[in-house]
């Protein structure tokens, strides 16, 4: 979309002056001859208003109106017209829905035959948004009303479209139209050319992918029946306040950010916090201060609603995201045992049960000095071998590197399959691995081999035991008795001080950051769990967001459970020794 050699401002000034000099706008008749004589100028004007929709708003704002677009609103409108995929995370009072509606109206005018939609979690919510913004926008800009396909009677009644409690539709003179959809199956089968997703953070990812996105399968054609190669076909604009990390919406925001870097002409990801509406008088500083100082208003809510920060967990989270964050203090992961330290290593394994999950091994380093054990989670490894035989060999190799006191594993379900290979011998890449035996499960004794390495600790999970395991992990995290690796951004900044790091290529840098990234995933998975009580008053944890996996959680809580058992056994042993010494002294 190239303009003439004149600057945009010069061209617009000419159009604006011509437009405003006329006092008989309602009597203007555009004839075919006039169009033929001014075809180039009119094409340039449409191009300009498509790329710079804010200039159209400047042009049609009535005399005497106090309305004026702010700089950030101009950016919002231009981005919404130019890119195929747009992700925006903004606070309250940012005029998100207002600007979104203006975009839909302008697209309906400059893109003949376009079918757009506004999507919210429910149709009632979408209809309410459209009705409210419809009245506000058409009151501010009466010019837009002339583009609607409505009768003079409806125009006089200010009935701009067909709107009800759970439906809304608006039609234009050029056969464009806009309506609402929701994320339920009721939207299946329709076809649209562009869509705006309001408050995207709270939508169900499966419904968006299976119901909403397929609506955009057909590209808009021009009045001549041709595809415009410069038009952002199947446009998706996702505007929302911030939500929770690890959700479908957060993943889509990150995808858009990555796509913005890899395909800068197709995607745009941006956001802002409360300081922008405060600066422009749309939000008062006092209101922000009241929210910050209110004892009933949680910090996480303020960060999401006003700072546009995607927080790590819901208020319903059993394991607090912020509490886990305080435990992330370890700088370096470990890949082999540290020699000479007072303590031991433990490996906890959870076997993948569901599609998309992976078998994971988490390595704990336990310091036994002092009154209580001090626990470090020094590494997390995904066992990508497709067969239990290969996974067993990988775990045994880790034991050679760390000399674990125990290898903790769930032996229910798929875990039993891995256990069968752990008690057998393997050979992988020319290395022979000895058979292993269980410390606590006699049922495996008949099949265990002589000379085995007795390090396996089996857990047969049930509701009662799981409740005990979850509570134990909650206590250890709350008391900050376990330390986790830094997040990957902090790790990158730390290693960036060293020349050896800067000399590594991006692939090797990413490889070294894997333990930090996996720890972040563990944090997200922990904070995605909420607690409930069953009929026996035992704690049952369920996922808040079904799209967030929990494969890292089980290994983590199993490891902490075994370490707690060892600590209690050690404490009892020390108390028994102390009692014997006291008895000898007194007698």
pLDDT tens digit string along 358-388?
Answer: 789 999 999 998 888 999 999 999 887 668 8
CA distance 470 to 487: 24
pLDDT at 561 over 70: yes
Phi-psi sector, 113: left (phi>0), alpha (psi -120 to 50), beta: left
pLDDT tens digit string along 183-192?
Answer: 775 556 678 9
Q: Is residue 347 within 8 Å of 355, Cβ to Cβ?
A: no
Q: What average pLDDT score do residues 150-168 get?
A: 87
User: Residue with structure tokens 């017209």?
Assistant: 81
* Beta bridge partners of residue 197, listed in sequence order: 119, 238
Q: Look at residue 578 in the predicted model and tell me its pLDDT.
A: 54
What would the DSSP string read from start to end of 274-287? THHHHHTTSS-HHH
Q: Look at residue 336 in the predicted model and tell me its pLDDT.
A: 92
What would the DSSP string read from start to end of 477-513? HHTT-EEEEPPHHHHHHHHTTSHHHHTS-HHHHHHHT
Q: What average pLDDT score do residues 404-417 get?
A: 90
Q: Look at residue 13 in the predicted model and tell me its pLDDT.
A: 62
Q: What average pLDDT score do residues 3-16 get?
A: 56
Q: How confident is the model at residue 532 (pLDDT cuts 50, 70, 90)?
A: confident
What would the DSSP string read from start to end of 314-366? -TTBSS-HHHHHHTEEE----SSPPTT-SEEEEEEEE---STT--EEEEEEEE
Cα end-to-end span (Å), the chain: 100
pLDDT at 393 over 60: yes
- Domains located in the chain, CATH noted: 80-279 (3.40.50.300), 324-571 (3.30.420.240)
CA distance 527 to 314: 7
CA distance 516 to 326: 15
Question: CA–CA distance from 69 to each of 74, 95, 98, 550 (Å)?
Answer: 7, 11, 12, 46
pLDDT tens digit string along 228-269?
Answer: 898 999 999 999 999 887 678 888 999 999 999 999 999 999
Percent of the chain at pLDDT > 90 equals: 41
Q: How confident is the model at residue 2 (pLDDT cuts 50, 70, 90)?
A: very low
Q: How confident is the model at residue 98 (pLDDT cuts 50, 70, 90)?
A: very high
- Helix/strand/coil for 6: coil
């Amino acid at each position: 979309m190239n303009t003439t050699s004149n600057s945009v401002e010069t061209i617009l000034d000419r159009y604006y002056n011509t437009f405003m000099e006329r006092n008989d706008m309602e009597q203007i008749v555009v004839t075919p001859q006039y169009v033929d004589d001014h075809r180039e100028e009119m094409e340039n004007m449409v191009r300009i208003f498509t790329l710079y929709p804010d200039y159209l708003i400047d042009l049609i704002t009535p005399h005497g109106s106090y309305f004026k677009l702010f700089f950030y609103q101009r950016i919002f409108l231009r981005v919404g017209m130019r890119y195929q995929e747009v992700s925006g995370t903004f606070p309250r009072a940012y005029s998100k829905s207002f600007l979104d509606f203006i975009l839909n109206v302008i697209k309906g005018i400059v893109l003949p035959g376009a079918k757009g939609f506004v999507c919210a979690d429910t149709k009632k919510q979408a209809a309410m948004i459209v009705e409210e913004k419809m009245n506000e926008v058409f009151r501010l800009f009466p010019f837009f009303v002339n583009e609607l396909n409505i009768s003079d009677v409806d125009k006089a009644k200010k009935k701009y479209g067909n709107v009800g409690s759970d439906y809304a539709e608006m039609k234009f003179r050029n056969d464009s139209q806009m309506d609402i959809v929701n994320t339920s199956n009721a939207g299946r089968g329709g076809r649209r050319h562009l869509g705006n997703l309001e408050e995207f953070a709270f939508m169900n990812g499966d419904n968006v992918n299976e119901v909403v996105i397929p609506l955009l399968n057909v590209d808009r054609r021009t009045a001549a029946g041709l595809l415009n190669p410069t038009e952002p076909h199947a446009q998706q604009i996702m505007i929302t306040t911030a939500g929770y990390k690890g959700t479908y919406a957060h993943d889509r925001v990150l995808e858009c950010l990555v796509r913005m870097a890899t395909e800068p002409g197709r995607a745009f990801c941006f956001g802002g916090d409360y300081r922008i509406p405060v600066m422009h008088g749309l939000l008062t500083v006092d209101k922000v201060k009241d929210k910050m100082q209110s004892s009933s208003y949680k910090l996480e809510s303020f960060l999401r609603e006003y700072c546009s920060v995607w927080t790590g967990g819901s208020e319903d989270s059993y394991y607090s995201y912020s509490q886990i964050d305080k435990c992330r203090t370890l700088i370096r992961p470990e890949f082999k045992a540290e020699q000479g330290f007072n303590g031991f290593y433990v490996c906890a394994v959870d076997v993948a049960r569901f599609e998309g999950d992976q078998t994971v091994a988490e390595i704990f380093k336990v310091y036994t000095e002092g009154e209580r054990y001090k626990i470090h989670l020094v590494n997390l490894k995904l066992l990508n071998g497709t067969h239990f035989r290969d996974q067993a060999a990988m775990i045994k190799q880790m034991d050679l590197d760390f000399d674990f006191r125990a290898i903790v594993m769930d032996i229910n379900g798929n875990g039993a399959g891995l256990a069968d290979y752990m008690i057998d011998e393997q050979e992988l890449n020319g290395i022979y691995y000895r058979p292993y035996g269980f410390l606590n499960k006699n049922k495996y004794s008949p099949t265990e081999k002589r000379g085995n390495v007795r390090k396996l600790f089996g857990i047969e999970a049930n509701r009662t035991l799981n409740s005990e395991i979850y509570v134990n992990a909650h206590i250890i995290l709350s008391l900050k008795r376990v330390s986790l690796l830094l997040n990957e951004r902090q790790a990158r900044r730390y290693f960036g001080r060293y020349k050896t790091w800067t000399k590594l290529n991006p692939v090797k840098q990413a490889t070294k950051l894997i333990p930090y990234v996996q720890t972040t995933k563990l944090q997200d998975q922990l904070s995605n769990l909420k607690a409930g009580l069953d009929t026996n008053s035992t704690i049952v944890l369920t996922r808040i967001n079904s799209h967030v996996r929990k494969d890292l959680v089980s290994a983590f809580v199993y490891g902490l459970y075994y370490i707690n058992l060892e600590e209690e056994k050690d404490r009892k042993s020390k108390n028994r020794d102390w009692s014997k010494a006291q008895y000898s002294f007194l007698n």
